[in-house]
A and B are shown apart, each in its own frame.
Chain A
Amino acid sequence: MEIKGEYQIDAPRQAVWEALNDPEMLKKCIPGCESLEKVGDAKFAAKVTAAVGPVRAKFNTSLSLEDLNPPVSYRLVGESKAAAGFGRGSATVELEEQDGGTLLRYDADFKVGGKLAQVGSRLVMGATKKTADQFFSAFSKELDPGAARVDAAVESTAEPSFPWTYVLSGASFVVLLIWWFLLR
């Protein structure tokens, strides 16, 4: 499934890039993040507890960053596993200077499996949006405690053959993807 979104963050692009690459910052802002560590060159491992609808699980996530082009763009490739299922996929993230702040765009293509796919399909989009909103809200506040304004828009394009949804895990996976790839 594909999920796209963009967020306007009231901070300069360089600051956003750096924050996105600050493990402590990410850990603070990612809902349910218990640990986040660098395990190799542009490779990360994280543990995140995510709850979407009826599924709550601790995801072990591994991420690698590719096509790094600071402070403009990168590509995040990763896999998230839990007893409740798995998600895997990739996302491209772009930062653009706009209106004195930074517009962050992401375009993720991912797949979920196991119970996440089975039970959560209708909830994944909403949960993804909510998790992403939570992250960006926290992230914006951290960067600019005064402004704390977040404009969020998530749009999804599910494949026509599956007008259904995917799982919650998908949501947390996307969020993880975005944040992790920002880490260094």
Chain B
Amino acid sequence: MSAPLLSVRGVRVAFGGVKAADGVDLDVNAGEFLAIIGPNGSGKTTFINLATGYVKPQAGTIRLEGRDITSARPRDVTKLGIARAFQIPQLFTEHTVLENLMLAVAANQGFWRWQSPLGSPAVREAAMDLLTTVGLADMVGASSNALNEGARKLTDIALALALKPRLLLLDEPTAGVSTDEKFPLMDRLAAVLRERGVTAVFVEHDMDLVRRYADRVVVWNQGRVVADGAPDAVLTDPAVLRDVVGVL
């Protein structure tokens, strides 16, 4: 078996006595779709914050393809190919949806050229493609401030996709997206990710989505990984059903 893409070893972090990660060991393998499930407040989002350098662990190491990124900042981690989408969408509320995407595309395409316009044809086209991918092509001119929650989520995911990441971390990607839209969105997203060979980690509460899209499931409870394996095995484990799935 090849070396894992992301490797987390002995990571601990606590916020005022609450242990969000309590000696976590976890590998993310290249090409897989890994779902992280667990009760609210168990530290799932903290895992994403740790992996992207937003939160620094008090102990342990985090490696990306063997390279130590434990003390890297979010922008360093991003440049190494990890992108994230947020549980609460993080948009540029003073800009339109298209401008949001163009900023993301331009971030690694001539960002420092200070006399060229943001909306060059190539950047504009790439931004439009991304919006089409997430199904927001008819929202380009809207202010990102005026969108409904579902559209904000989709814009947020598109911003992460614009970075062409190798590893995409999605924090509850379908929260706020309407029930009819969930599966079509995830179908499109999964297809794009598979096509580009992107590895994905998604924190999710919806077990139907986990069953359908995850190659592997990790169960997180009270800052620890309490189960790890194929969806069929983990989601039928009586202990997991009792402690985790039952309380979701």
A binds B: no
